[in-house]
């Protein structure tokens, strides 16, 4: 409760400030519109970057998809090598390489490539993403993990196979969800 004049002045000032705040926020036209909201610009920019990246991936990797559709697996592998040269560090190459290796029956190497791809871009296991590859990765895991476990039983201590198994468990974990 206001005890003296100064308290009353403070309360009045608060009322004016809050009224002004309310007017700024609620009355249309308060913004001059001359300067774009930086937050909105950032959001738009993020969306554009995302779309641009998707478009780039579709364009650059279209030849690989064509070769895969034609069943030209070896040619697809070579094309991926070329694309890795031009786009170093782009994990989409790893994803498609995993796909080719899976089709060739090289399940252990496929799992390694899928793990590299997902580590670099979790969108591959995101059902809501246009890059979603859950079905492919699940199929590779279903076929590949038992095979790797069998081989590890006959070759205990194989570091390469142990790493493939870890990659497989990682993929399983990512497919299962969780906060990441």
Partner 1 sequence: MNVLVRSRHFWLVLAAGAAVGVFGGLLSFWGNPQNSGICVSCFIENSSGALGLHSNQRMQYLRPELIGFVLGSLLCAVGFREFASRGGSAPLARLVAGIFLIVGSAVFIGCPIKLFLRLGAGDLSALSGVFGLVAGVWLGLQSLARGIDLGRSHSERGGGGLWVPTLFVLLLLFLLVRPAFIAFSERGSAAQHAPLLLSLGAGLLLGALAQRSRFCITGSLRDSLLMGRRSPLFWGFIAFLAGVVATSLLTGQFRYGLYGQPGAHVDYVWSFLGMLLVGWLSTLIGGCPFRQLVKAGEGDTDAGLVVIGMLLGGGLVQTWGIAATAAGVELPGKVAVLTGLAFIILLSLFSRERAPG
Partner 2 sequence: MKIVHLPLLALLLAVLLLAGCDRPLSGPPLRIGYMNCNSAAETVQRFHPLTVYLQERLGVPCETVPVDTQDFEGRFAAGEFAFGHFNSLLYVILKENLDIELLATEMRGQYGSSTAGGIIVRADSPIRSLDDLRGKRMLYGPQLAPTGYLAQYDLMLQAGLDPERDLAYYAIPHGSFKHEKVIYGVYFGEYDVAAAPMLDLEIMIREGKVNADDFRVLAQSDIIPYCTFGAAKGADPQLVAKFRQALLDLTPETTVEIAGERVKVLKAAWIDGFEARTDEDYDPIRGMARRANMPPYQEF
- Provide the binding-site residues for partner 1, judged by CB under 8 A: 37-40, 43, 46, 115, 119, 122-123, 126, 128-129, 166, 169-170, 172-180
Residue showing tokens 């390694």: 112
Q: Whose Cβ is closer to partner 1: residue 103's or residue 151's? A: 151
| Nearest distance, CB of residue 123 and partner 2, angstroms | 23
| Nearest distance, CB of residue 103 and partner 1, angstroms | 24
Q: If we measure between CA atoms, which residue out of 87, 41, 39, 35 comes closest to residue 61? A: 87
129: enclosing H helix or E strand? none
Q: How far apart are CA 101 and CA 52, in angstroms?
A: 28
Residue 158, binding choice from partner 2, partner 1, none, Cβ under 5 to 8 Å by partner class: partner 2
With contacts defined by CB under 8 A, name the span among 17-25, 28-36, 38-46, 153-161 that binds partner 2.
Answer: 153-161
Residue 73, binding choice from partner 2, partner 1, none, Cβ under 5 to 8 Å by partner class: partner 2
| Binding test (CB under 8 A) with partner 2, winner from 50, 78, 142, 149 | 78
Tell me which DSSP letter residue 90 carries: -
Q: What is the largest CA-CA distance in the chain?
A: 89
On whether the CB atoms of residues 116 and 91 are closer than 8 A, the answer is yes
Residue showing tokens 């579709």: 58
Lookup: tokens for 175: 């497919």
- The reply on whether position 92 binds partner 2 by CB under 8 A is no
Angle at 56 between CA 107 and CA 96, to 5 degrees: 5
| Nearest distance, CB of residue 83 and partner 2, angstroms | 8
Site residues (vs partner 2, CB under 8 A): 63, 72-75, 77-82, 84-85, 97, 101, 104-106, 108-109, 154-155, 157-160
């Amino acid at each position: 409760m206001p005890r003296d004049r100064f308290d009353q002045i403070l309360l009045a000032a608060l009322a004016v400030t809050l009224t002004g705040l309310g007017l700024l926020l609620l009355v249309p036209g308060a913004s001059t519109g001359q300067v774009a909201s930086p937050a909105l610009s950032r959001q738009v920019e993020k969306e554009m970057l995302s779309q641009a990246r998707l478009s780039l991936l579709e364009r650059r990797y279209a030849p690989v998809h064509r070769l895969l559709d034609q069943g030209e697996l070896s040619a697809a592998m070579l094309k991926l090598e070329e694309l890795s040269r031009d786009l170093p560090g782009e994990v989409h190459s790893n994803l498609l390489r995993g796909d080719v290796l899976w089709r060739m029956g090289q399940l252990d190497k496929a799992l390694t490539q899928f793990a590299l791809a997902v580590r670099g871009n979790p969108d591959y296991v995101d059902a809501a993403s246009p890059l979603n590859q859950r079905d492919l990765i699940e199929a590779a895991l279903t076929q590949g993990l038992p095979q790797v476990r069998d081989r590890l039983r006959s070759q205990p201590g194989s570091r390469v196979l142990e790493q493939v198994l870890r990659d497989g468990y990682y993929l399983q974990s990512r497919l299962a969800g969780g906060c990441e």
